Structure 1
């Protein structure tokens, strides 16, 4: 029994040592060689793998990018009026949403619209922008506020690239709260 154990240990030791001195110039077998040596294409170069021959492809029609929420109101006066009447905030009015709405308002809106929404922000006081509306002077709804944040209107540019859909609705919620306070 001891001899069998000694022979087994010796064989394992010899096999282990022999595996260390193989011919490195001879390549190993590859199951899928294309995975080891893939062809890289430059972004705007030609690519024979696509029907149009280009590497850069447009997204498939009807798809929505990850993290994006579709907004069905066009950037036009008709879209503004439609959003004003029909678009509703999907978020619940609560302290967390209002707090984040205030935070976003303080970052993106306060410089023009002012702390209370009276159109007296720092840029207006320094005569950089004139005619920024007071929230109480406008017939606005949650849909029209969101639409203006999304697409911009008149002198105000779009803020859709700076704010997510949820943040836009939270900012809308906070602007409505400011408007209610101004109307008192």
Structure 2
């Protein structure tokens, strides 16, 4: 039997090693930075006790399938990635975690929702035509290194609330972030010409 006490996770580290636009998922690693682990034998004797501190090397790794709608935006405009729906791949808190520990942490994540903020939208400055109505999150690996990549946030706004969700890019979608930049914003050409470019 393994008992955990006061486990605390550090901020998630996101990897794009399994990312494609069509089958978007991210690999998430979270380090345990506080708490304790006690292993107890059949005689209720503690056979191993570990106190966790930052840098101890204990971690939890999971896959998050973005097609399940695990992305959202809160009332302050934070773009959030919900990790509760992720499937736990592995953890090194015990020597053999497969049988009981992995299901335990999957249930723990559902009961203690963990979110990761991908960024923030300034909804107040968007204007009435650019107020978001729905969001779809996808991932794209970098062309030169598939452990890095981009989070693609497709935003439906009040200007085009009925835009077809099935018109998302496929794997031929180009890498659009210029060198020496970390992000890029693209606007629908019909929106720009119809709402912001006046004759």
TM-score bracket, normalised by the shorter chain, equals under 0.3
Name the structure with the higher helix share. 1
Name the structure with the higher strand share. 2
Using the size of structure 1 for normalisation, the TM-score is 0.20
| Pair member with larger Rg | 1
Using the size of structure 2 for normalisation, the TM-score is 0.19
